[in-house]
Structure 1
Amino acid sequence: MTSLFNSSQEIVFVLHGLNVTQTNRHIYFVFILILYLFTIFINLTLILTIVLEKMLHDPMYLFLGSLCINGIIGASSFYPKILNDILFDSHVITYIGCLTQIFFIYLYIYCEFTNLTVMAYDRFVAICKPLHYHCIMTIRKVWTLILVTWLFSLLEIIIGIVLTARLPFCSVDIDKFYCSAWAVVKLACVDTTLNNLYGFIFTSYNLSQMILILLSYVNIIKASLRSQAGRRKFMQTCLPHLITLTNFVISIVFDVMYARYGSNTSLLLALGNIMSVEFLVVPPLVNLIVYGMNLTQINCKCIPLR
C-alpha cells in the first residue's frame, strides 16, 4: 500500500474517543484542571518534604521521591493536551506533538515499572536482611539505582521512538484520547515486524520485572509473618507499594490487551477509554494517600497538608 503522506511534517493525527458536549465542556475543563493541579501539588509536596528533611534521606524515601518525579511527568504528558482539546474543541495533534507525547508517556510507564522493581528490592533487603540493610543499601548504591532506572527507561523509549518515526502512514485516525505507540504503529503502510519485536522484547522485560517483584514479596511476606514487628513494618512500608503496583499493572495490562485484541462494542469501548487513562491519572494522584498517610515519617513531615 502506498503512503498517503510524503513527509512527516504534513501529518496531523485526529484523536477520537473524547466526547464532550458544548454545554458541559467548561465543567469538564475546570474539573480536569483542578485534578491536574492537585496531582502536581501533592507530588511536589512529597518531593520537597523528602529533599528538605535530612531524616528522610533514606533509600525508601529517595526512591519515593523518584516515583513522585515520574508521576509529575506522567500527569504532564496527558493533562495539558486533553485540557487544550476540551477548551478549544480541538481533537488533532501534529506528528511531532504525537511523538513527543508518546516519548513522555512511555518514559513514565517504563520508569514506573523499574522504579517499583527497585523499591521492591529495597523492601526485600530491609525486611529479609535487616542486619545487613545499611551495608547493602548504601547511599551510593541508591543513587546508582535511581540513575540506572532513568537512563535505562530513556534508552527504552528512544529506541521505540526511532522505530516509530521511520514509518510512513496511510491513515491519521487514532482511536484514543492521546497518542500511544501501538495506536500509531497500526496506521503504518509498511511491515511493522520490527516494531512488534521491540514491543515483545520490552513487554517480556517488564513481565520479568513483575516476576522479580512477586518473588521478592513472597519472601517478604514469609519474613513478616515471623514477628509482630515484621507485620507492622510490612503494613507501613510494603502495603503502599503493593497498592500502587497492583493498580498500575492491572490498568497497563488491560490497556495493552484492549488495544491489540479489544472489540468496538460500546461497553468495552467505554471501559477501554477509562482504563487507557487510569494509569496516567490514578497512580500520580494517590501517592499522598498510599505513601504520605501510611509512612509515619512522611505523614509527620508533610506540614502543609496536615
Structure 2
Amino acid sequence: MENGTMPSYFYFTLFKEFVHMKYLILIFILAVYLAIILFNAIILFVVFKERSLHEPMYILISCLSVNDLYGSAGFFPRIMVDLLSDTNTISRPACYVQIFTIYSYAISEYTILTLMAYDRYVAICNPLKYHKIMTSKVTALYMAIASLHAAFSMGLIILFSARLPLCGTDIARLYCSNWSVVRLSCGTSTLSNNIIGFFVSATTVFLPAFFILYTYVRILVICQKSSKEFRGKALQTCLPHIISFLNYSIASFCDIALSRYDSDKYKIVAIIFSVEFLVIPPVLNPLIYGLNLPEIRKNILCLFQRSKIANFPE
C-alpha cells in the first residue's frame, strides 16, 4: 500500500487520437446504438405479445435481447459522453460499475447461448420428453441461476481488483476493463487476481463452449440417422444459434487475446477487436433470429403490416 494510491479518477488516453473526427464517430455510434435498441425491442415485443411464442426457445431468445440491451447500456452512453468530453475522465466507482456491467453482460451472453444449446439438444435428441424437461418454470430457474452466477463472478473479480494499490490513472482503452485497472497496480502481487480471472474464464467461457460443442455433436449424430425433412427442420432452428455462438466466440476471443497485449503498430485493429463483442452481437442477434426463425419472422411481418394499415389514411 505504501507504494501505491487509490486514485479518485481514471483517464481514457485513446480519445485524444480521435479528436478531429469525434463528431463523425459520435453519429456512427449513436446510429448503431439506436439500431440495437430498435432491433432488440422488436424481438421482445413480438415474443411477449404473441402467445404462440411463449415457449422456452423464444423466451431464451428474448433473454438474449434483454442482455444485449443491458450490455449496450453499459458501453454506448458512456462512450458518447467521452467523445464529447475534453477531459475523458471516469470516477473510480463509475469505472467499476462499467466493468461489472460489461463483463456480467459477457458472462450472461455465453450462459444464455449455453441454455439455448441445451434447449435445442433436448428438443432434437429427446423430443418426447421436451415439454417435461423444458418447462417455463425450469427455464426461469435456469435464467435466475445464470444471472446470479454472472453477478457473483463479477462481484468477486471487482472485490479483488478494488483492493489493489495503483501507481497510475491512464487506461488505454475506450472503456474500463478489469485488466486495464489491474495492470496499474504496484507494490503488491496480482497472483490472486490472475487465479480468480482464470477460474471465472474457465467456468463462464471454456466450459460452456465445450458443452455447446458437445450438444451439437450429439445433434449431428441424431440428424445423420434421421430423415431429410427432420434434418432440414433441425438445421432451421439450430442455424441461428450456431451463427450467434460463433460470432460471439470470435468476438470474445479477440477481446481476451488482445486485453493483455499492447501494440502501437496495430492500435486501431486492437481498438476494433476490443469493442467487437459489445457492438456486433447486439446488432446481429435480433437480425439472425428475426430473419431465420419462421415464427418470429412471420409475426414481425404481421406487426409491420398492421402498422401500415393503421397509419394508412382513409
Task: Give the structure-1-normalised TM-score.
Answer: 0.93
1:176 partner SS? coil
Aligned to 1:285: 283
Counterpart CA distance in 2 for 1:165 and 1:219 is 43
Aligned to 2:251: 251
Aligned to 1:234: 234
Unmatched tracts of structure 2, length 5 or more = 306-314
2:10 partner SS? strand
Unmatched tracts of structure 1, length 5 or more = none
Match of 1:131 among 122, 125, 128: 128
- Are residues 173 and 42 of structure 1, via their aligned partners in 2, closer, same or farther at CA, if it must alter by over 3 Å? same
Give, as a single letter, the amino acid of the residue that structure 2 aligns with 1:20: F
Aligned to 2:308: none
Q: CA deviation at 1:17?
A: 2.7
Once the two structures are superposed, the pairs formed by residues 137-156 of structure 1 within 5 Å of their partners are 137-156=134-153
Once the two structures are superposed, the pairs formed by residues 50-61 of structure 1 within 5 Å of their partners are 50-61=47-58
Tell me the C-alpha RMSD between the 2 structures.
1.6
**Is 1:47–1:65's contact at 8 Å kept on the other side of the alignment?**
yes
Aligned to 1:35: 32
Aligned to 1:44: 41
Counterpart CA distance in 1 for 2:210 and 2:118 is 12
**Is 2:39–2:287's contact at 8 Å kept on the other side of the alignment?**
no
2:132 matched to 1:119?
no
Match of 2:193 among 195, 202, 207: 195
Aligned to 1:223: 222
Counterpart CA distance in 1 for 2:214 and 2:182 is 34
Give, as a single letter, the amino acid of the residue that structure 1 aligns with 2:14: G
Counterpart CA distance in 2 for 1:305 and 1:255 is 37
* Residue deviations 1:232-271 (CA, integer Å, cap 9, x gap): 22332211111111111112122212222x341422x222
Q: Percent identity?
A: 36
Give, as a single letter, the amino acid of the residue that structure 2 aligns with 1:228: K
**Is 1:43–1:69's contact at 8 Å kept on the other side of the alignment?**
yes
Counterpart CA distance in 2 for 1:31 and 1:40 is 14
Aligned to 2:312: none
Counterpart CA distance in 2 for 1:250 and 1:31 is 23
Q: CA deviation at 1:291?
A: 0.4
Counterpart CA distance in 2 for 1:295 and 1:249 is 21
* Residue deviations 1:83-102 (CA, integer Å, cap 9, x gap): 01112244221101100100
Q: CA deviation at 1:230?
A: 2.7
Aligned to 2:166: 169
2:210 matched to 1:211?
yes
Give, as a single letter, the amino acid of the residue that structure 2 aligns with 1:102: I
Aligned to 1:101: 98
**Is 2:65–2:286's contact at 8 Å kept on the other side of the alignment?**
no
Q: CA deviation at 1:50?
A: 0.9
Counterpart CA distance in 2 for 1:138 and 1:239 is 23
Tell me which stretches of 4 or more aligned residues in structure 1 moved more than 3 Å. Answer: 1-4, 303-306
Aligned to 2:81: 84
* Residue deviations 1:105-142 (CA, integer Å, cap 9, x gap): 01101101111111100000111111211111112111
Counterpart CA distance in 1 for 2:277 and 2:99 is 14
Give, as a single letter, the amino acid of the residue that structure 2 aligns with 1:229: E
